[in-house]
């Protein structure tokens, strides 16, 4: 079992300089195996810093990161192994491509993990299949590809290490709506087929609401909320307060509630909204979902 746990995590950077800042504090979290989690928060709320702790890229100033019950910093020499078990895809991952061919770029990660020969080849092909690219691209230079394709190659580069926990930092940033849906669908597919724990950092409440089981809301270096999607949206007002855009339908329902109509504001998809309106019209009472 590979649940991931954070205990009293605190991270400060720029100590003893005028740029000193506490990036995250008092973080206590537990992610269960096979969960799909969305992480949202403002720019600078600490979400990117948080995810970089999960695979040991940043060492916490205080507190512990436990992977499968073991502190990942217990043996600093094995941190590389942690990084293969917890795969992290950075923001704009296409800017990290460097190899001459797509194949070699995707193979970079698994090779560093000691894979070779046929196993390596299989890992690359599987990863390519997960992100929905055709094998013809394997011999091309990654710099010849389109933006969306590059992003997928970069994601495949992490998937090829077959991590038990896959973390993606804003995987859809800068993509058009179609590219965004496509990537999200691919990630959901990966989640279903491998049973891996998946964490997605996102700006978009709408996206998060669609795919995530639980949502982690970060605000001012702290965990603001961590709960299931319906429960998070019950706190829609608080979300608005900290400046996070809730889905448009939710906003409409919040306004309806303010206007005195007994609706349940924990509505975040159009389908739910339709159901809720029908319920009200049939004269049900508020809050019963």
Partner 1 sequence: MLSDITLGQFFPGKSPVHKLDARVKLILTIAYIVALFMVSNYFGYLVIVGLIGLVLALSKIPFSMLLKSLKPLIFIIAFTAVLNLFYGAGEHVLFEYGFLRITEEGIRNAIMMSLRIIFLIAGTSLLTYTTSPIMLTDAIERLLSPLKKIHLPVHELAMMMTIALRFIPTLVEETGKIMSAQKARGADFESGSLVSRVKALVPILVPLFVSAFRRADELATAMECRCYHGGENRTRMKQLTIAGRDFAACGVFALCIALIVLCNIYL
Q: Note whether 103 binds partner 1 by CB under 8 A.
A: no
Q: Which of 90, 69, 81, 76 is nearest to 166 (CA)?
A: 90
Q: Is 113 in the site for partner 1 (CB under 8 A)?
A: yes
Q: Where are the alpha helices (DSSP H) in 198-284?
A: 205-211, 229-234, 236-241, 248-258, 270-281
In the chain, helix, strand, coil percent, each to 5? 45, 20, 35
Euclidean distance between CA atoms 261 and 267, whole angstroms = 14
Task: State the minimum distance, in angstroms, from the CB of residue 108 to partner 1.
Answer: 6
Which CB atom, from 28 or from 112, has the smaller least distance to partner 1? 112
Minimum distance, C-beta of residue 149 to partner 1, in the bound complex (Å): 16
Asked if 90 interacts with partner 1 (CB under 8 A), we say: yes
CB nearer to partner 1: give 106 or 137. 106
| Sheet strands side by side (includes 62-67) | 21-31, 4-13, 62-67, 70-71
Residues touching partner 1: how many (CB under 8 A)? 28
- Per CB under 8 A, the list member of 8, 21, 26, 98 interacting with partner 1 is 98
Smallest gap, in angstroms, from Cβ of residue 103 to partner 1? 15
* Residue 45 vs 52, nearer CB to partner 1: 52
Instruction: Please say whether the beta carbons of 216 and 226 come within 8 A.
Output: yes
Binders of partner 1 in range 14-33 (CB under 8 A): 14, 16, 18
**Residue of 4, 23, 53, 84 interacting with partner 1 (CB under 8 A):** 84
Kindly tell me which of 34 and 87 has the beta carbon lying closer to partner 1. 87
**By CB under 8 A, residue 57 contacts partner 1:** yes
Interacting residue with partner 1 among 80, 122, 192, 275 (CB under 8 A): 80
Task: Give per-residue burial for 188-218: e unless 16+ CB within 10 Å, then b.
Answer: eebbeebebbbbbbbbbbbbbbbbbebbbbb
Q: How far is the CB of 86 from partner 1 (least distance, A)?
A: 9
Q: Least Å distance between CB 245 and partner 1? A: 26
Which residues make Cβ contacts (< 8 Å) with residue 114, sequence separation at least 6? none
Q: How far from each other are the two terminal CA atoms of the chain, in whole angstroms?
A: 33
Q: Is 162 in the site for partner 1 (CB under 8 A)?
A: no
Interstrand relation of 70-71 and 62-67 (parallel, antiparallel or unpaired): antiparallel
**Eight-class DSSP state of 272:** H
Out of 6, 25, 34, 52, the only residue in the binding site for partner 1 (CB under 8 A) is 52
The contact set with partner 1 (CB under 8 A) reads 13-14, 16, 18, 52, 55, 57, 80, 83-84, 87-90, 93, 95-98, 108-109, 111-113, 143, 157-158, 161
């Amino acid at each position: 079992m590979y649940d991931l746990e954070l205990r009293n995590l605190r991270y400060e950077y720029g100590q003893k300089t005028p740029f000193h800042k506490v990036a995250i504090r008092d973080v206590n979290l537990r992610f269960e195996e096979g969960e799909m989690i969305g992480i949202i928060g403002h720019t600078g709320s600490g979400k990117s810093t948080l995810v970089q702790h999960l695979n040991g890229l940043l060492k916490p100033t205080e507190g512990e990161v436990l992977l499968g019950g073991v502190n990942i910093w217990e043996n600093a020499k094995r941190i590389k192994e942690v990084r293969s078990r917890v795969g992290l895809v950075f923001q704009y991952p296409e800017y990290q491509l460097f190899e001459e061919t797509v194949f070699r770029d995707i193979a970079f990660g698994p090779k560093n993990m000691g894979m070779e020969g046929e196993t390596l080849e299989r890992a690359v092909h599987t990863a390519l299949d997960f992100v929905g690219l055709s094998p013809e691209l394997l011999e091309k230079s990654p710099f010849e590809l389109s933006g969306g394709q590059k992003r997928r190659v970069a994601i495949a580069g992490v998937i090829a290490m077959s991590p038990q926990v896959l973390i993606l930092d804003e995987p859809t940033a800068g993509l058009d709506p179609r590219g965004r849906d496509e990537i999200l669908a691919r990630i959901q597919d990966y989640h279903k087929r491998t049973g891996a724990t998946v964490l997605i950092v996102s700006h978009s409440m709408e996206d998060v609401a669609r795919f995530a089981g639980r949502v982690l809301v970060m605000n001012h270096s702290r965990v603001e909320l961590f709960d299931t999607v319906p429960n998070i949206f019950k706190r829609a007002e608080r979300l608005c307060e900290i400046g996070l855009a809730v889905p448009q339908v939710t906003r409409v329902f919040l306004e309806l509630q303010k206007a005195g109509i007994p609706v349940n504001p924990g509505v975040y998809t159009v389908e739910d909204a339709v159901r809720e309106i029908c319920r009200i019209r049939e004269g049900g009472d508020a809050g019963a979902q």
